[in-house]
Amino acid sequence: MDAKQLLPLLYASVAAILVVLAITLTLALRREKEFLTPVPPTSPAFAQRMATAPSAYQEGKAVWNNSACGSCHNKNMKDDMTAPALGGVTERWAAYPREDLYAWIRNSQRLIAEKHPRALELWEKWSPSVMSRYDLTDEEIEAVLEYIEQ
């Protein structure tokens, strides 16, 4: 057999490899898209998604998308929008117990009413913009913070 006769075989192998790659990529992209499609945070679909998230970062990304944090906070975490940029937020709350940050995300207005120093500082700068309230678990908040800081 000379080299010329081997060419079709070579072409067929390359084509087969490309097809397999294309299928793998399509499936991966579809999974990613499914994962990021918003579902209500209280739905069984959301609970299922949290349970199967491959990492805290992915879980946090899903929380971010489902809760629409990005409608007020810039997704690049660096520039202000209608709400402050969130990059470095854990640092800005480092002087207080972690629970204070959870409390802020669950109900910022309550923390402002309780005269929490960091909450008052934010309110002074950003009022009358009010942040939405969120019924999120500690774990979900930790995940979204992980996503924010990455």
Shortest Cβ 138–ligand HEC spacing (Å): 13
Between 24 and 42, name the residue whose CB sits nearer to ligand HEC.
42
Distance CA 129, CA 50 (A): 30
Shortest Cβ 99–ligand HEC spacing (Å): 13
Q: Which residues contact 108 (CB under 8 A, 6 or more apart)?
A: 119, 122, 130, 131, 133
- Chain contacts with ligand HEC (rule: CB under 6 A): 67-69, 71-73, 83-84, 86, 89, 92, 104-105, 108, 122-123, 126-127, 129-132, 134, 144
Between 10 and 117, name the residue whose CB sits nearer to ligand HEC.
117
* Nearest residue to 36 via CA among 88, 74, 75, 73: 75
